[in-house]
Amino acid sequence: MKIAPKDPKEPKDEAAAPAADAGAEASTEKAAKKEKGGKGRDAKEGKDAKDAGKKGKAPGPGAGKAPKYVPDNPNFRYIVRVSDTDLDGTRAVALALTGVRGVGLRLAEVACQLAAVPAAERIGNLPEPTVDLIETTLASIPSKVPDWMVNHRHEPLLGETLHYVGPELDTRRRDDVNQLKMIRSYRGVRHERGQKVRGQRTRSNGRTGMAAGVLKKAAKEAAAAAGKEEAPAPAAKAPPAKKE
């Protein structure tokens, strides 16, 4: 039985075909990478956009800023003056009133309820008479709220319960501190020295002035130098007497 001889050309063609396919795929992959990666500015912009997408932020300037409020009211005021204080007209009434010295959020909400003004309304939309009503309500707040809500209970000079707001609060506070200094009370002396007033510890916190360690070292050096200068010079020995 004779076996037909194998054709030596067939294996060569079969081996050449995968090599050619592999070369074509490699060249195609290189071209794709080149187009995808890019160079210079285009590559940097693509990378920035990718990083911004990962972080969940939109690229570009002013991405996270809230849009500016555009009022529909032609009489809208961006600056409202209450108790000698300029307030932002784009904020709600209750939040805007907290910009006045001596008025917190709770007291601002109480003032809105007493003046029958919606606390969520922007204060710039309120007419001038309503703003004046709010200011009058703040002035009469001590007679309409409990004593623990005001900042000056049982005033020693007037004998009344008052609530100071705006620049009056700063003036009254300065007068109180000056009075404590004049009567030489403990709190007044602590105010004069710039130390803690309400019993806080001062061993590690509230240390004013220069560092103690530096002063101690400088004092030691100065004392040593002064001691050397003041030390008396050794007396000169008298020459021995000559024998006759």
120 in any annotated domain: yes
Range of the structural domain that residue 136 is part of: 79-146
Helix axes 167-182, 186-193, angle to 10 degrees: 110
Closest CA to 165 of 85, 225, 222, 63: 85
Residue 50 domain flag:
no
Per-residue pLDDT in tens (0 to 9) along the chain, 244 residues: 555 555 555 545 554 455 555 555 656 666 555 555 555 555 556 666 566 555 555 555 555 676 778 888 888 999 999 988 999 999 999 999 999 999 999 999 999 999 999 999 999 999 999 999 999 999 999 989 998 999 888 887 778 889 999 888 999 999 999 999 999 999 999 999 989 999 998 888 888 776 655 567 777 888 888 887 776 655 656 666 666 5
Q: Residue 134: what pLDDT?
A: 93
Q: Tell me the CA distances in angstroms from 182 to 154, 159, 195, 199, one per residue in order.
A: 21, 21, 17, 20
We report the CATH number of the domain holding residue 128 as 1.10.8.50
Q: How many domains does the chain have?
A: 1
141 burial type by CB count under 10 A (0-12 exposed, 13-18 middle, 19+ buried)? buried
Residues in the chain: 244
47 domain-assigned: no
In a domain? residue 142: yes
Q: For residue 77, what are the contacts with CB-CB under 8 A and spacing of at least 6?
A: 89, 124
The pLDDT of residue 159 = 82
